[in-house]
Structure 1
Amino acid sequence: MGIRQWYEDKILPRMIRCACSADAIMELRAGVVPKARGRVFELGCGGGINQQFYDADAVTAFAGLDPSGKLLDYARAEAERKGWQADIREGVGEAIPFADDSFDTVVCTYTLCSVGDSAQVLREMRRILKPGGRLLFLEHGQAPDPGVQRWQRRLEPLWVPLMGGCHLTRPVIASVRQAGFAMEDSGQRYMPKMPRWASWMEWGSALKTA
């Protein structure tokens, strides 16, 4: 096993799980994830961090997808701890292995930054949602301030390989709208006590319309 493979297999999953479960991040998750209803699909479910926030009385079925085998171990352990049946698979968001119109809610948190083709992933999430279904999202991305954007562009070539493909410059809400979703509500802000180039967050809910 080479150094890069060792880092990606052993170190990176733990770094991601730690960074994505910081207190301020968990507060944002707590405002988004509990809105899930019915048949729920979570893209980027590895780590299992969101599972504590789902309302088990409102969720009738849960499925998830993640490309990281190690993070999926965490997700399956969390599902067992929660005591619910979960269809958790290894795979990528560009080719979600579920049929059209399968889910009432799709949840996507801190995932669009690291997928290979974010536009295709959004199309796939829209495809598997039932008409009128809801996308719940929480992501970091391109900041609105030109000075911060410049730093994001400078740092991104170093950041991407270090953080498992995570990009700093991808727009979030604009991309959701471009994928054909109708925005219900949204929020955005810099997170406190974090460098501004890494702390711009956008979240909300959007509907699959005809």
Structure 2
Amino acid sequence: MLKVIHPVLRAGLLHRRLGAVSVNTLVASQSQLLHLRGLHQCRGLLQKRSRGGEVIPKSDAQRAAEAKALLEKQMNSSNKIVRWGAIARSEKFQKGLTKWLVGAYGLFILYGGYLMKNLYSREKELEDLKKRADELNEFEKLRSKELDKNVVLRTREEYKLKVYQLLKDEYGVSDFSNITIRDYEPAKDVVERVTGRSLPDDDEILLKFNKQNPLPNILPPIDTTGFYESKATEYDSDIGMEEKAVFMGSKRKWLMKHCSGDVLEVSCGTGRNIPYTDMGKLNSITFLDSSRKMLDVTNEKFRKEYPHFKKVAFVEGKAEDLLALNSDSGVKYDTIVEAFGLCSHQDPIQSLQNFAKMLKPNGRIILLEHGRSDYKMVNRFLDERASKRLDTWGCRWNLDIGEILDDSGLEIVEESRHHFGTTWCFVCKVKGSSKLQEEIGFVEKYISSSFKNRASAFIEDEKAKQTEKTNKPPSSHPQSSDKI
């Protein structure tokens, strides 16, 4: 940078350079001033002036010593940021950091190799199990599901697999060919039945296992009609704050955006989904609930919100009795929706099977439910408060909704979970029916289908070639002939 010189100093410099002259004669041209300014350029280096007035640049050793002194001063600074910055610039720290980085990279390589080895062994095991798919016992089927990343293990399946592992690791059982475990069968009962031993209640192995894998506290179903009859008038005010706290409105909006055509809403309650319904997509809507008073609240809300919509019905009844209720009319629906109803049904599996029988071809069942979580700690909380929840809200909030869907025979098109896995969202269809155009993703539509078609074509070509070889008559030597 150019050093700007004060006019008085500039005059003194001129006096020194040009000799003794009067102040009146100190009139320099612009070129002279620029020349004098250039004499004082530092060119990025620290300079000092000697007694004789000559500018002497600092040596490398001097600059290094000054930098070292400055670094030591900063390392002892009372300011933490300055001190930490100085330590990070120190040679000792940088050498140590290099060693740590090299070591961390080595550990990363080793761990990556370990993971790759495990992944390979899992893939190999899954491949072997799939080859013997028709011969697998229950343990091997569960193990196959566990290894397949596209399959979700349900709560009862996870528990069974852990009991099998307990038998294998702690009790030396290796042959599971004739062994099956009932849903949520206590581990003690399984071990005694399989091994033929009689185990004490304070067996350390079993106590440890039961502590790590407690059985879910699933309460027996009850008829909740009377409860909701008594709760109808204050239900909205009581549940409203709880739903706002977890932004449940967005999930209800997701539920109702799937509705189109002729719609049946089961366990409609007080009509909390009405504000999220797009009536422009609906041809008709039927509300079903076992509580007459809840239906009356829904009726009042709907008439107020959509006074001119005529194709609406309000039916009192249970989901388990749907087929009987519908026996005379034989009405079918494009969409059947339910929000937080399975937890209150006496037979949720039968209810879902009834839904399937009342769907039109390519109809859809849309569910918004609460149930078990992905996390043990949350499930423990749900199990401990299951009785209180049933008394307060009339629902069994710790059911494994995935298990219920699997047992119903429905095919899951879309599944997602929220709120630590306790809120379940499903789009379901009748097993065997085709997917709708909007349900086919980009990869499945443009990539997977292409590979599948090519593979199918290749297999068909191979079969055709094989058939051609099989049907080809054996070659014979041609007869000699005089004809050309």
Question: TM-score scaled to structure 1, two decimals?
Answer: 0.84
Q: Aligned equivalents of 1:26 and 1:189: distance in 2?
A: 13
Name the structure 2 match of 1:203: 425
Q: Call closer, same or farther: CA 1:20–1:90 in 2, change over 3 Å.
A: farther
Contact 1:130 1:208 in 2 (8 A): no
Name the structure 2 match of 1:76: 299
Post-superposition Cα deviations, 1:166-199, rounded to whole Å, max 9, x if no partner, equal 00211223422331222222210217xxxxxxx8
Post-superposition Cα deviations, 1:116-138, rounded to whole Å, max 9, x if no partner, equal 11111111111111232101110
Asked if 1:47 is matched to 2:277, the reply is no
Counterpart residue identity of residue 95, structure 1: D
Report the 3-state secondary structure (helix = DSSP H, G, I; strand = E; otherwise coil) of the residue aligned with 1:74: helix
Name the structure 1 match of 2:251: 28
Q: Which moved more, 1:133-142 or 1:143-152?
A: 143-152
Q: Which moved more, 1:30-39 or 1:167-176?
A: 167-176
Name the structure 2 match of 1:98: 326
Asked if 1:187 is matched to 2:423, the reply is no
Structure with more strand by fraction = 1
Deviation at 1:146, TM superposition (A): 2.1
Contact 1:101 1:131 in 2 (8 A): no
Post-superposition Cα deviations, 1:4-45, rounded to whole Å, max 9, x if no partner, equal x997544x2245434267331111101121211111000011
Q: Call closer, same or farther: CA 1:127–1:8 in 2, change over 3 Å.
A: closer
Contact 2:232 2:297 in 1 (8 A): no
Q: Aligned equivalents of 2:278 and 2:406: distance in 1?
A: 27
Report the 3-state secondary structure (helix = DSSP H, G, I; strand = E; otherwise coil) of the residue aligned with 1:177: helix
Alignment of 1:1-210 (within 5 A): 9-10=229-230, 12-14=231-233, 16-18=235-237, 19=239, 22-23=243-244, 24-81=247-304, 82-83=306-307, 84-85=309-310, 86-96=312-322, 97-99=325-327, 102-164=332-394, 166-190=395-419, 200-210=422-432
Q: Aligned equivalents of 2:270 and 2:227: distance in 1?
A: 17
Q: Aligned equivalents of 2:387 and 2:282: distance in 1?
A: 39
Report the 3-state secondary structure (helix = DSSP H, G, I; strand = E; otherwise coil) of the residue aligned with 1:49: coil
Structure with more helix by fraction = 2
Q: Call closer, same or farther: CA 1:9–1:35 in 2, change over 3 Å.
A: closer
Where does the alignment leave 5 or more consecutive residues of structure 2 unmatched? 1-224, 433-484
Q: Aligned equivalents of 2:410 and 2:228: distance in 1?
A: 34
Bigger Rg over Cα: 2
Where does the alignment leave 5 or more consecutive residues of structure 1 unmatched? 192-198
Larger RCO, structure (CA 8 Å, separation 6 or more): 1
Q: Call closer, same or farther: CA 1:101–1:209 in 2, change over 3 Å.
A: farther
- Identical aligned residues as a percent: 21
The RMSD of aligned alpha carbons is 2.4
Contact 2:386 2:397 in 1 (8 A): yes
Contact 1:46 1:75 in 2 (8 A): yes
Contact 1:41 1:105 in 2 (8 A): yes
